Amino acid sequence: MTNQASPELLHHLHAALGPSADAHTKLLESVIPGLIDSIGAIATALRKAHHVSRAGGANAFGDDQLNVDVLAEQAVRDAVSSCPAIVAASSEEDPVERSANPSVQEEIRTRGEDGEHYTVAFDPLDGSSIIAPNWTVGTILGVWQGRTALRQDPATRQVAAVLGVYGPRTTAIVALRVPGSEPACLELGLNEHGARDCAVVRSQVRLLDPESSSARYFAPANLRAASENPRYMDLVSRFIRERYTLRYSGGLVPDVVHALVKGHGVYVSPVTAGSKAKLRRLYELYPIALVMECAGGKAVSPADGSRILDRALEDLNETAGLICGTAEDVEIAKAALVG
């Protein structure tokens, strides 16, 4: 069952779920370690990919596929296929829920849904548009209870999320929230062997109260939208007047993880008539929202202020905007954009 995860990692994962750990053994000892291994494999592949180029096509959302996108996709697919508890998977590059382990699918059909079965939805390489200049990029993975993410309650059925970060170091943020346990969020440092020799950098990742933070950060994505949205322009101006520090890289994962490391920050990606929504609800928004909530923050829609995890997915291709980060600043941004 185990994917050769380090004793330190297994100890912290089990401790995070407490009494609920026994009911999620495969999640803790196979699924999460397997996904961490895929992050280690992607890091290795990126170090060897000296040339970033188009792979010759586009994904289902119309984005050009790069050679590094293909490498990252394959690394996660390999990890998924090696984990019997994962019954289906879909990705931003291939947004179709495909059977990951046909034998397990057959077992579910004949014996029912009882037992530990999971679906994985992932963005293999978030930030591929900034990888050519060698900026930090990431991977986003969401884990759902059962054999589909469609028409499920995101707040209860998405039980884990993992963010991989590829920079000078390779790190990962792991968020867990299962029924019967408190939300948990931890940070890992990865070496070349993935889950086998990773280090637990922080066993508790938490955003700070504003009074506890000496600096305040904002990441205004889709900034061109401010030229046609006076509310967004006013919000950005307010952050500047109140001496927030700008930290925006152009990559969702590094900008979100910056807030988690610093203990404070707000990420804003609004949607306007001229700047359509680009973030994928299943592959980006849901996992990011789970991580933020497990760290004590919030994630809401800039369109109506609703909680990201309150809306079930009806189509794998859905997109939306995002406000996420420290709870107080999310409320400030929501009030500014929604009114």
Length of the chain: 339
**Of 105-109, 244-248, 252-256, 274-278, which range is least confident?**
105-109
Counting residues of the chain whose pLDDT is more than 70, the rounded percentage is: 92
Beta pairing, strands 137-145 & 199-202: unpaired
Tokens at 154, concatenated = 């995101």
Tokens at 118, concatenated = 């999971």
Mean pLDDT of 246-266: 96
Higher pLDDT, 204 or 105: 204
Neighbours of 169 (CB within 10 A): 12
Tokens at 219, concatenated = 């990441």
Mean pLDDT of 253-281: 93
- Is the pLDDT score of 102 beyond 60? yes
- Is the pLDDT score of 262 beyond 90? yes
- Is the pLDDT score of 242 beyond 90? yes
Beta pairing, strands 199-202 & 54-58: unpaired
- Is the pLDDT score of 96 beyond 90? yes
**Range 210-338: architecture per CATH:** 3-Layer(aba) Sandwich (3.40)
- Confidence at residue 107, expressed as pLDDT on a 0 to 100 scale: 63
Mean pLDDT of 22-49: 95
Q: What is the per-residue pLDDT across 83-92, written as a single tens digit (0 to 9) for each?
A: 999 999 999 9
- Confidence at residue 52, expressed as pLDDT on a 0 to 100 scale: 80
pLDDT averaged over every residue in the chain = 91
Counting residues of the chain whose pLDDT is more than 90, the rounded percentage is: 80
* CA separation for the pair 322, 15 (Å, rounded): 31
pLDDT band at 1 (very low <50, low <70, confident <90, very high): very low
Higher pLDDT, 87 or 129: 87
Mean pLDDT of 300-329: 96
- Confidence at residue 101, expressed as pLDDT on a 0 to 100 scale: 77
The answer to whether the CB of 173 falls within 8 A of the CB of 187 is yes
Read off the pTM. Answer: 0.93
HSE at residue 277, side-chain half, CA atoms within 13 A, is 15
Q: Which residues contact 244 (CB under 8 A, 6 or more apart)?
A: 216, 217, 218
- The domain over range 7-202 is classified in CATH as 3.30.540.10: yes
Mean pLDDT of 74-97: 95
Q: What is the per-residue pLDDT across 51-69, written as a single tens digit (0 to 9) for each?
A: 787 765 556 555 667 899 9
From the centroid of its chain, how far is CA 117? 20
- The structural domains of the chain, with segments of one domain joined by +, span 7-202, 210-338
Higher pLDDT, 105 or 125: 125
- Confidence at residue 77, expressed as pLDDT on a 0 to 100 scale: 96
Q: Minimal CA–CA distance to 198: which of 4, 65, 9?
A: 9
Higher pLDDT, 275 or 173: 173
pLDDT band at 209 (very low <50, low <70, confident <90, very high): confident
* CA separation for the pair 24, 294 (Å, rounded): 18
- Confidence at residue 50, expressed as pLDDT on a 0 to 100 scale: 82
**Of 6-15, 111-120, 139-148, which range is least confident?**
111-120
- Is the pLDDT score of 115 beyond 80? no
Mean pLDDT of 80-109: 86
The answer to whether the CB of 129 falls within 8 A of the CB of 250 is yes
